[in-house]
A and B are shown apart, each in its own frame.
Chain A
């Protein structure tokens, strides 16, 4: 997790069962007497009581608009809102709070960058470098930009294991490359990309890099200064926070140079019918009444994560993933998709003779929540010649027992559908 959290060597090993008790949604039965095994964390994580209570408290006691009111409640809401920005600044180790913009999530962050920084940076005949494992949200905004300005999209391929073909980077990072946009961790394969190497290579030829951190912020240390990423975007709801809220980190020099994305209240310096001047970052990019409660809830989620001993958490997550890889990978008639050397928290697989949707439907009926399909990475899934995969994705509250339930579920699916 955040690099600012130093390992607490005197802390006890991570107690996943105790941690799990923090999450009310995990304590329920699905379909009568079938306890829920939630393995769809790459889509969204469950929320701890601390975050749920924080939202409840805001609406019961603090609800007010921010940045405008002179009354006490509005001042308190504004303080809480800006205090959440401080927490997120610490969470990603940004240099300054002004570099942290609240967005609706990763998708909005990427669209914002494409529409503002992208428009400034990418011109006709330029190239935008993506990778074959990108989520649609890190493909489509760039395609839209490329179409608008007459640029070309280049795609760095992945190998059969699901790793980027870094040895071919020279072929793709050319004199025409104007921007690189790459995911930190693949939502479909779990691959952790060598993001530092990519950023270094791009910066060596003066190309800025946008990092999609949707799948890394919940599992890996994120230190935007150490990474030297130009932009880093992620969503709150995958890291125990509320839905509809996320972060766009941008280097201050970029944010200052960028035009606003949306126009409206709270982003202006002065408005007249002759013209308008804009506020400084971050407010330049936060037009209108923001998602106040969820910003505050996300601040709580970031604090909650920073309170954990992440050395122990990561050891636990690695253990669950290796256990799952071993147990699920040993099942006959089933193939793991994505076997990169560096992986986190995602196990994608397919059966030789069972459609992922059939498998997913039966697993659901057995209480096991997995995702099936292309996971909004159609080009990647097509690259493997598949109709989709079955994806079990883990969070810190998942245990080896959850994996055992998944394996038992898969055996049932095989006997029913195989």
Chain B
């Protein structure tokens, strides 16, 4: 829904949800579930422009600006489930937010959900690349 809740509200919601799982397996299963739930990215959006460089697996993030509500719509997909789950988390906090909020968003919450430690540094780089690409897009829409 267009942004009544802020980036940090949504981040807190995610942290609360992940805290319900006591073991890593549960957290991963939930992450994968979140990835399975995001809408499929149509093939026409799987373009070179939307391709995220820096991920070990294939990832695409598509951004569209909604003039009427002055917010950004994000869609994403990956051929790896864990990467897709991570894309889903980032999309969930940034979707339907004004470009300014996307560009300035903090992702500290990723440290608090108990997955970061288990992610290889290369996967972390991929996650960082995803975030940077979304924030760069946001800057192009910012007035």
Contact = CB atoms under 8 A, between A and B. Distances in A.
Interface string A339-370: 00000000000000011011011101100000
Contact of A355 (B25, B28, B57, B118): B57
Nearest to B32: A417
A355 B80 contact: yes
B56 A373 contact: yes
B123 A361 contact: yes
Interface in B47-78: 56-58
B24 A357 contact: no
Contacts of A364: 118, 120
B29 A416 contact: yes
B80 A357 contact: yes
A20 B36 CA distance: 42
Interface in B113-138: 118-120, 123
B28 to A, nearest CB: 7
B32 to A, nearest CB: 7
A41 interface: no
B7 interface: no
B79 interface: yes
A109 B7 CA distance: 51
A7 interface: no
A373 B120 CA distance: 13
Contacts of B58: 387
B56 A357 contact: yes
Interface in B5-36: 24-25, 28-29, 32
A372 B119 CA distance: 14
B28 A357 contact: no
B24 to A, nearest CB: 6
B97 interface: no
Contact of B119 (A361, A373, A387, A388): A361
A175 B32 CA distance: 56
Given A373-B56, A387-B58, A416-B28, A355 B81 contact: yes
A358 B80 contact: yes
Contact of B82 (A31, A358, A387, A388): A358
A361 B82 contact: yes
B95 interface: no
Given A355-B80, A357-B123, A365 B28 contact: yes
Contacts of B119: 361
Nearest to B56: A357
Contacts of A355: 57, 79-81, 83
Contacts of A372: 56
Interface residues of A, number: 16
Given A364-B120, A365-B28, A417 B56 contact: no
A281 B24 CA distance: 56
Contacts of B57: 355, 357, 387
Contacts of B29: 416
Interface string A12-49: 00000000000000000001000000000000000000
A357 B82 CA distance: 8
B76 to A, nearest CB: 15
A365 B79 contact: no
A388 B83 CA distance: 15
Contacts of B25: 365, 416
Interface in A127-168: none
B62 to A, nearest CB: 20
A255 B122 CA distance: 39
Contacts of B28: 362, 365, 416
A361 B55 CA distance: 14
Nearest to B119: A361
A361 B85 CA distance: 13
Nearest to A412: B25
Contacts of A360: 120
Nearest to A364: B120
A358 B28 CA distance: 10
Interface in A363-400: 364-365, 372-373, 387-388
B72 to A, nearest CB: 27
A416 B25 CA distance: 9
Interface string B81-124: 11100000000000000000000000000000000001110010
A365 B24 contact: yes
A361 B120 contact: yes
Contacts of B118: 31, 361, 364-365
A31 B28 CA distance: 15
A346 to B, nearest CB: 20
B111 to A, nearest CB: 17
11 contacts: A31-B24, A31-B118, A354-B81, A355-B79, A355-B81, A357-B83, A361-B119, A361-B120, A364-B120, A372-B56, A417-B81
10 A-B pairs closest in CB distance = A355-B80, A357-B80, A357-B57, A358-B81, A358-B80, A357-B56, A358-B82, A361-B82, A373-B56, A355-B79
Given A365-B118, A372-B56, A417-B81, 9 more contacts: A31-B118, A357-B123, A358-B81, A361-B82, A361-B119, A361-B123, A364-B120, A365-B25, A416-B25
